Every structure is written in structure tokens, then in C-alpha cells.
Amino acid sequence: MSQLNSAAPNQTTTTLTLAKALNAGMRAALAADPKVLLYGEDIGSLGGVFRVTEHLQKEFGEERVLDSPLAESGLIGTAIGMAQRGYRPVVELQFDGFVFPGFDQITQQLAKLRFRSQGRVELPVVVRFPYGGGIGSIENHSESVEAYFAHTPGLTVVTPSNPNDGYWMIQQAIATPDPVIFLEPKRRYHEKGVVQLDAPAHGLHEAAVVRPGTDLTLICWGPMVRTCLDAAAAAEKEGRDLEVVDVRSLQPLDFATIARSVEHTSRAIVVHEAQRNYGPGAELAARLQEELFYVMESPVLRVSGYDTPYPPSKLESDWLPNLDRVLAAVDQSMAY
């Protein structure tokens, strides 16, 4: 076994990439509960196209780490059946753009069976997949699809932004009694970070203040947390003290943590890769104006992808929110 078990017995931290931390988290979940299964295309001998499940089939066998036929609807649908009989399938879909052949099974079946059965059927299914852009991919490999699922009652939607969250959130997601859409920021797979091995710092559905500040709150998740932290560091040089909140869980939303931050700073910008219109930023902006109208010094702004399909990769750096666009929005907000 790799990293974690080769660590000294008393070791309480280690440094891993996000991909390796997710791998370690799934290994721990497989070891802890024989009902946990990993299920997906190319996850066995190849270890997934991003190697997130590397070595796990060898360690836990083909009965627990299953290479599936190339059919997303089939994957989700059969995972539902397995979950009805007490298994905890962790389904990997290969890319964000390949979720849609399984869309009915996710939004109309997985999301609704608890409600349909009047609360009797429990589906502890995790559907995990890499999302977002920034790695120079071809079409259908860079989509930010969180709004579809956060909009669907019955699903929970979470996304880690760093290796420690990756390690803990995947284990917490697998332990959740409801379906979890687990979004992995693929452009951050290879970024390293310290992983606490003794206990998680947060619950699965808690937001986290990842940088305290007083002037303005940047609200972000997944791939944009690093971008926002970089923007906050740059703004500091201009004498601005920005707070960064990592939302971590889009459904359910820990609005209390976000509200506490904005009550304190009075200004907020939501930053996401997804297209703007009807996107997740609209929900956050609406909630902030509904609940904190008298606190706000300026309108909630959104920095997002444009309202076009994801562009060819040579244009993606201009399409994705970057440090300059975040800082321009900060200027705009502070000018009120």
C-alpha cells in the first residue's frame, strides 16, 4: 500500500496531490466498509484516465473495483440497484461532458427514489467526476455542470478544492445516506497540499473561511479557490484585505458561514467557472440580497465563464475567470 500506510504509525500529517489524496480517501473507505464498491470506465488496470483509482483494483479485487461497459446511464442505473441492496457504489464518470448520457438516471431516478418511496429507499451512491477547464482539453472535457445537479432536489453536491478536503470529503460522501455528486477540479489534481490524517477539519456540508479578511468576501469553490486566494494575495499588495470563503458544498449550502463573512465585510463577489446566466452565482447573489440587503455596501457581483459553450482550448485562458478579472470586479465593488 502506498503513501499513507508507509507513513510512520504516529504520523498525523502527510503531503499529497489532490488526485493521490482522493485515492487515499477511497482506499480508506474500501478498507473500512466491505459494501463500498468503485464502479466506472477504465478505473481498474488503468486506474482511471487521471489515475485517481490507481492500484485500488489490485488491492481490493475486481469484485469491488469494477471496470464497466462504456455506458453512463447503465453505470448510474445499476449503481442504484446495488445501493437498494445495501451496497455503497462510488461511480466514476470519466469527464464532466460525459455525465449527460446518465442525466435521467441521476436527476429523475437517483435523486427521486427516496421521495418516490415515501422515504423508504436510501441510495448512498457517490457519483464522482472531474470537472472544469484549464487543462487544454478538446470539447466536452471542460464543463462546469454543478448548477444542473444543485438545482435537482434529492441530490447533494460537494466539491473539494485542496488535498485535505479531497481526502476527507470523499470518505464523508461515501458515508452519506443520500446521493452525492462529487465534483473534482481536474486542473487542481496535481497540486500538492498537507493532509491531516487524524480527523477532518470540517463536516461535508460546511463552508470554510480559507483566508480571513475585512474588506470584501470572495465566494468560490473547487478550481476557483486557488484563483481567489491568488487574487487576495495580489490585492493585499494594493492594501486591500479580502476574505475568501470556500463554499465546499453547493447543496446543501452552508449559508450561515457565508452570511457571517458578508455581514463582516459588507461586500461580496461570487467567482465560478460555469457560465453566468442561471448559474450558481445567481442563487448566492439572490440569497445575499434577500437576507443581508441592509448590510451590503455594494451589489453582489459575479465573475464567471461567458454565456457561450466552452471555447476551444487555445481560448480558454480568456474565457475562464482569472486573477485580472477577479481584481477588476474587486475594484468595481469597492468603488460603490
Partner 1 sequence: MNTAMSIGRPTDRPSAQPGRFQPQQPVETPLVQLLRPDGTLTSDPDFAPTLSAGQVAEMLRDMTLIRRFDTEGTALQRKGQLSLWAPLLGQEAIQVGVHAALGQHDHVFPSHREHGLAMLMGLPVERLLGIFTGQETGDWDADEVRFHHLNMVIGGHTLHGVGYAMAQQRDRQADAAADDGVSLIIHGDGAISEGDVNEAYIFAAAYQAPAVFLCVNNQWAISEPVERQSIVPLYQRAWGFGIPSVRVDGNDVLAVHAAMQWALDRARNGEGPSFIEAFTYRVGAHTTSDDPTKYRSKEETADWQIKDPLSRTETWLRSEGAWDDAQQAHLDQEAEAFGAQVRSAVNNVTTPRFEEIFDRVYAEPTPDLIAQRAQVLREVAAL
Give, as one character, the DSSP assignment of residue 222: T
Applying CB under 8 A, among 59, 139, 263, 331 the residue interacting with partner 1 is 139
The secondary structure of residue 299, as a DSSP letter, is P
Q: Which stretch in 41-49, 120-128, 194-202, 220-228 sits in contact with partner 1 by CB under 8 A?
A: 41-49
46 belongs to the binding site for partner 1 (CB under 8 A):
yes
Indicate whether 308 belongs to the interface with partner 1 (CB under 8 A): yes
Q: Does position 322 bind partner 1 by CB under 8 A? A: no
Can you tell me the distance from the alpha carbon of 152 to that of 14, in angstroms, rounded to the nearest whole number?
36
# residues contacting partner 1 (CB under 8 A): 39
Q: Among residues 89 and 97, whose Cβ is nearest to partner 1?
A: 97
- String of DSSP letters for 69-114: -S-HHHHHHHHHHHHHTT-EEEEEPS-GGGSGGGHHIIIIIITTHH
When the beta carbons of 238 and 307 are compared against partner 1, the nearer one is: 307
Q: How far is the CB of 43 from partner 1 (least distance, A)?
A: 9
- State how far the Cα of 305 lies from the Cα of 59, in Å rounded to an integer: 40
312: contact with partner 1 by CB under 8 A = yes
Bond from prior residue into 185 cis (ω within 30 degrees of 0): no
- Binding part of the chain for partner 1, among 16-24, 191-199, 234-242, 314-322 by CB under 8 A, reads 314-322
Q: Is 55 a residue that touches partner 1 (CB under 8 A)?
A: no
* Cα(194)–Cα(162) distance, integer angstroms: 9
Between 66 and 95, how does the x/- string for binding to partner 1 read (CB under 8 A)?
-xxxxxxxx---------------------
Active site residues: 141
Of 18-26, 154-162, 240-248, 305-313, the segment contacting partner 1 by CB under 8 A is: 305-313
Which residue from 21, 36, 44, 91 is in contact with partner 1, where contact means CB under 8 A?
A: 44
- Contacts with partner 1, 8-27, as mask; x by CB under 8 A: --------------------
From the list 33, 100, 121, 197, which residue makes contact with partner 1 (rule: CB under 8 A)? Answer: 100
Residue 259, by phi and psi: left (phi above 0), alpha (psi -120 to 50) or beta?
alpha
Closest CA to 245 of 217, 266, 274: 217
Shortest distance (Å) from residue 207 CB to partner 1: 29
SS3 310: coil
Give the whole-angstrom CA distance, residue 307 versus residue 85: 42
Closest CA to 155 of 38, 221, 76, 208: 76
230 binds partner 1 (CB under 8 A): no
Question: Contact region for partner 1 (CB under 8 A) — 63-71, 193-201, 230-238, 289-297?
Answer: 63-71
CA dihedral for 161, 158, 96, 74, sign (positive or negative)? positive
Contact of 227 with 220, CB cutoff 8 Å: yes
Residues forming the site for partner 1 (CB under 8 A): 41-42, 44-47, 49, 67-74, 97-98, 100-101, 136-141, 277, 306-309, 311-316, 318-319, 328
